[in-house]
Amino acid sequence: MKSSFKLNPNEHSWMSNPNTKDIISVISRGKKEIRFVGGCVRDAILNREVHDIDIATTEHPENIKFFLKEAGIKTVNIGIKHGTVLAFHNCSRYEITTLREDVKTDGRHALVKFTDNWQKDAERRDFTFNALSADLEGIIYDYCGGLKDIESNAIRFVGKASDRIHEDYLRILRYFRFIATLNVEVGEVSDLTACVTLAHNIKKLSKERIKGEFFKIINSNFSPSIIDKLHEHNILEQIIPNVSDTKLFRTIIQIENKVIEPNIVAFKSIRRLATLVDFDCSQTKEISIALKLSKTENHHLTQISSCIKKVTPNIKRADLIRLLHQYGQNVLIDTILINWSKKSNNIKNKIGHTEKDWLRIIEIIINIKQGSLVFPLKGKDVINLGIPAGPQISKFLKITEDWWLSKECKANRDECLIKLRHSVKRQIC
């Protein structure tokens, strides 16, 4: 249904930039109708930054792919049997989908048929504000009441919530993700009830899809209240096993805001995830399996688990440097933030009592150049002193490295070589 609301393409660069115009021009060869759909339309109306540009058309996907290939535009078949072609043009990403209806669904996959009915396509989408579309002139089409829900700052399923969820169980997590990222209110109590009732089906989804949505939730600005809600309704346990508590999750976000440079740590998702784990119960492996963490993510979580008991607010500088050398900056700062949160949640340690101590050790870490923590000697340095290849090499390196660490990594290569020679000479004599 055409609305009176209109986006001005000149005020939205994602609509009018040359890359978008190129894509539109190419797929217009078939003279079929083309519109922008989904999140880009929703975010534009909300005056939010648009990241992903989704385009819908009545053109057949094979024709779209052919047109783009002829124009020299790279495509990826992410779901062509469902009518979707992914196009990359000058570093811009476009998801182009043929209008479709769901013929059969099982909560994970769908059998679809293509259509030229825009309303039918809108009615198969998850939420009303994601069912909006805009033509190339910016005129908004609203078949499901999305504009009204945006105006009232509410999230609402298209049609009956249970029907939409049975089509794809991931919509349960998407429901909470949008509440967390858009800071919207629950539009219908029945929608929330359906999510809670059907949450046990989340485990039927691929771990990759679960992780993708869950990480978007925990990284959002309004994640604490949503994590509490997921825990309250026993949905969190469908995502990760043996959740210890959610208080620590809320606290660490408060503390992150106290750190002068919170973005120095690359693993925000893992850091926040770690607050939901009881390390004393060795749950890191289970968590890694449940979310199918990457090798890098799993290593980071495991390192935090190993380091967690070694960091205290009154740790000595030399011991801190030793840990920094062993674990690296990212792991150590994440561990500090987690332990700081734990101390803050302790009844005996109200938040702020050790704040200066935690900030002190973070400052020490930040101010130490990572290059200065590289031990300057190698195995060949030991061999050059007449020691044959074997376990003795590692032994002498370890002795020298321990001495170097005791000097807070300030000893240079020449000084380390002198210490090495003394150690070797003492052993020989």
Domain boundaries, the chain: 2-151, 157-239, 242-372, 375-428
Residue 10 and residue 6: Cα distance in Å, rounded? 12
Predicted local confidence at residue 373, as pLDDT: 84
Predicted local confidence at residue 428, as pLDDT: 67
246 DSSP assignment: S
Sign, CA torsion 273/276/277/278 = positive
Instruction: For residue range 311-333, list pLDDT tens digits in order.
Output: 998 899 989 999 999 999 999 99
| Least confident window among 83-92, 125-134, 209-218 | 83-92
Predicted local confidence at residue 111, as pLDDT: 65
Does 336 or 346 have the greater pLDDT score?
336
Q: What is the mean pLDDT of residues 292-313?
A: 92
Does 116 or 110 have the greater pLDDT score?
116
pTM for the full model? 0.85
CATH class given for the domain over 2-151 = alpha beta
Is the distance from CB of 203 to CB of 238 less than 8 angstroms?
A: yes
Residue 271: pLDDT band (50, 70, 90) is very high
| Least confident window among 58-72, 83-97, 165-179, 242-256 | 242-256
Q: Got the DSSP string for 349-375? A: S-TTTTHHHHHHHHHHHHHS-GGGGS-
Is the distance from CB of 170 to CB of 205 less than 8 angstroms?
A: yes
Q: What is the mean pLDDT of residues 142-158?
A: 96
Predicted local confidence at residue 387, as pLDDT: 87
∠ CA 318-322-327, nearest 5°, is 145
What's the token pair of residue 64? 């779209």
Is the distance from CB of 20 to CB of 89 less than 8 angstroms?
A: no
Residue 232 and residue 254: Cα distance in Å, rounded? 21
Does 160 or 407 have the greater pLDDT score?
160
Q: What is the mean pLDDT of residues 20-34?
A: 93
Instruction: For residue range 341-379, list pLDDT tens digits in order.
Output: 988 876 444 544 578 889 889 988 888 876 778 899 999
Residues 6+ apart with CB under 8 A from 272: 218, 219, 223, 249, 252, 253
Sign, CA torsion 407/325/251/286 = negative
CATH class given for the domain over 157-239 = mainly alpha
Residue 107: pLDDT band (50, 70, 90) is low
Is the distance from CB of 273 to CB of 223 less than 8 angstroms?
A: no
Predicted local confidence at residue 77, as pLDDT: 77
Query: Helix, strand or coil for residue 398?
Result: helix
Instruction: Output the average pLDDT for the chain.
Output: 89
Is the distance from CB of 99 to CB of 116 less than 8 angstroms?
A: yes
Residue 333 and residue 259: Cα distance in Å, rounded? 10
Residues 6+ apart with CB under 8 A from 230: 176, 217, 236, 239
Residue 140: pLDDT band (50, 70, 90) is very high
Instruction: For residue range 163-183, list pLDDT tens digits in order.
Output: 999 999 999 999 999 999 999
Predicted local confidence at residue 363, as pLDDT: 87
Among 150, 107, 108, CA closest to 128: 150
Q: Got the DSSP string for 188-215? A: -HHHHHHHHHTGGGGGGS-HHHHHHHHH
Predicted local confidence at residue 11, as pLDDT: 92
Predicted local confidence at residue 243, as pLDDT: 86
Q: What is the mean pLDDT of residues 25-52?
A: 94
Among 370, 418, 427, 362, CA closest to 393: 427
Count of alpha carbons within 13 Å of 333, Cβ hemisphere only? 24
What's the token pair of residue 165? 């969820």
Sequence-distant contacts of 224-228: CB under 8 A, at least 24 apart:
224/249, 224/250, 224/253, 225/180, 226/176, 226/179, 226/180, 227/276
